[in-house]
Amino acid sequence: MESSTPLTVTEAAHRRRPAPPRHLADLTRAERRNVVMELGHRPFRAQQLAQHYFGRYTDDPADWTDIPAAARRELAAALLPRLLTPVRRLACDHGATRKTVWRLHDAALVESVLMRYPDRITVCVSSQAGCGMGCPFCATGQAGLTRNLSAGEIVAQVVDAARAVHEGELPPAEQAGPPRRVSNVVFMGMGEPLANYAAVTNAVRRLTEAVPDGLGISQRGITVSTVGLVPAMNRLSAEGLAVTLAVSLHAPDDELRDELVPVNKRWKVAEVLKTAWAYGARTRRRVSIEYALIRDINDQPWRADLLGQLLRGHLVHVNLIPLNPTPGSRWTASRPDDEREFARRLAGHGVPVTVRDTRGREIDGACGQLAARES
C-alpha cells in the first residue's frame, strides 16, 4: 500500500489491532528453547510443552504433571496463551460435519469446519478474519479483511479438531477401520491464504513436523487454496513444501473472471495457470482447479470446452462446486442437467473431474458461506 493512499476503514482497523499473543506454534524448536531458557527454565521444558500441545492436544497447565507446579503458570503465559475461544458449535450430517465459530483475542471472529468422510477426516481452516479479495459470490469476501491470523491461530484450529477426534466427539463411521485422526487440512475457510504468506507457511510447517515439533500430518494431506496470487504461488513453489495447490478459477476467460474474481484484473487466467503448472511440475503434485458452478453465468457448454482445452494434458483435477447460497447474492447454483453436461464435456477432454458435495450447507459451513456471525 502506498503511503499517500488514504486508508480504508478496514485497513485502519487492521493497523490498530494489537498482534495476537506469541504462541509455541508460531515458533521453531530452537526458538521455543530460547524462550524457555530466557525465562530461566531448563531447555527441555520446551519439548515437554510441545509434547503436551502437539501430542496430547492440551494447553491446560493442570495436565502437565511432568512440569513443576511452580513453573507451569509462567510457561503457560509465555508459550501457550489461549488463542481461540469457541463461541458456537453447529453440527449436521448426524454429527459428521461440525462448524465452530471462534473468537480471537481481539474479538475478531473466524470459523473452521471439521468433516468426517469414510476414508479421511478433514478440517477446513481460516487463514484470515474476513478476506480482502472481494469475490462477489462469497460471503467471506463481503465484509472485507479484518486481519491476518497468526500461525498459532491457524494451528490451534487444527489442534482443537485433533482433540475433538481424539476424545470421540465425532460419531464413529459406519465402516470398519474408520480414520482416527485428522488426516487432511484444507485452507479453504475464511481468507486468502497466500495473502497471509508467512503465517500460512509457518503453520504448514507446524502441522507437518513430526510430534513433538508439530502435529505430524502428511504434506500430501494439506491443500492451500488461492485465487491466483501469482508472485506468492511462485514463492510457494520455491518453499520446498509439497502441499497440494488449489486454484479457484471459476471462469476460463478473462472477461468473466475479471468479474467473478476481481484479482484477475491483475493476474490473468493464462498467467495463473502457467504458474500453477510450474508448481505442479516442481512438487509433482496434481493441481486442483476449483470451479463454482453458477447458473447461466459460467456454466455454458462452450465454457466447459474452453476450460477443457486449457487444462487438457496437465496434471490436474477439477472440483466443480455447486454454488452455495450466500445472503444478498443474485446468483444461484447451476441446474443439475447443466452441471452434468459441464462435467461430461470436461471429462471428454480427458480432464479428471468430480462434483464436490455441499457438506455443511444447513449450518452455513459450506464453501463460501463462512461469515462468522455471533448468532
Please identify every residue annotated as catalytic.
111, 367
CA distance to 53, 117, 126, 175, 218, per residue, from 170 (Å): 20, 11, 20, 14, 21
Whichever of 80 and 371 has its CB closer to ligand SAH, that residue is 371
Binding-site residue total for ligand SAH (CB under 6 A)?
A: 17
Report which of 164, 200, 171 is spatially closest to residue 86, judged by C-alpha positions.
164
125 binds ligand SF4 (CB under 6 A): no
346 Cβ partners below 8 Å, 6+ apart? 304, 307, 308, 311, 318, 353
**x-marked contacts with ligand SF4 along 221-250 as a string, rule CB under 6 A:** ------x--------------------x--
Place of cell 477432454: 349
Q: Report the C-alpha gap between 324 and 227 in whole angstroms.
A: 17
Contacts (CB under 6 A) with ligand SAH, residues 307-336? 321, 323-324, 326
From ligand SAH, ligand SF4, none, interface partner of 287 (C-beta below 5 to 8 A by class)? none
Contacts (CB under 6 A) with ligand SF4, residues 257-276? none
227 binds ligand SAH (CB under 6 A): yes
- Inter-residue contact 75 to 49 (CB < 8 Å): yes
Residue nearest ligand SF4 (C-beta atom):
141
138 binds ligand SF4 (CB under 6 A): yes
135 binds ligand SF4 (CB under 6 A): yes
What's 20's DSSP letter? Answer: P
CA distance to 22, 42, 202, 208, per residue, from 34 (Å): 13, 10, 18, 22
Whichever of 131 and 170 has its CB closer to ligand SF4, that residue is 131
192 binds ligand SF4 (CB under 6 A): yes
281 Cβ partners below 8 Å, 6+ apart? 315
Q: CB of 266: closest distance to ligand SF4 in angstroms?
A: 13
Strand partners, 59: none
From ligand SAH, ligand SF4, none, interface partner of 153 (C-beta below 5 to 8 A by class)? none
The grid coordinates of residue 198 equal 508467512
Q: CB of 335: closest distance to ligand SF4 in angstroms?
A: 23
157 binds ligand SAH (CB under 6 A): no
From ligand SF4, ligand SAH, none, interface partner of 144 (C-beta below 5 to 8 A by class)? none
Whichever of 72 and 257 has its CB closer to ligand SAH, that residue is 257
Binding range to ligand SAH, per CB under 6 A, among 69-77, 130-138, 233-241, 268-276 = 130-138
**For 198-203, which contacts have Cβ atoms below 8 Å and span 24 or more sequence positions?**
198/151, 199/127, 199/148, 199/149, 199/150, 199/151, 199/154, 200/127, 200/151, 200/154, 200/224, 201/236, 201/239, 201/241, 202/26, 202/151, 203/25, 203/127, 203/151, 203/154, 203/155
364 binds ligand SAH (CB under 6 A): no
Q: Report the C-alpha gap between 151 and 201 in whole angstroms.
A: 8
Q: Which residues bind ligand SF4 (CB under 6 A)?
A: 131, 133-135, 138, 140-141, 191-192, 227, 248, 368
Q: Which residues bind ligand SAH (CB under 6 A)?
A: 131, 137-138, 188, 192, 225-227, 248, 290, 292, 321, 323-324, 326, 367-368
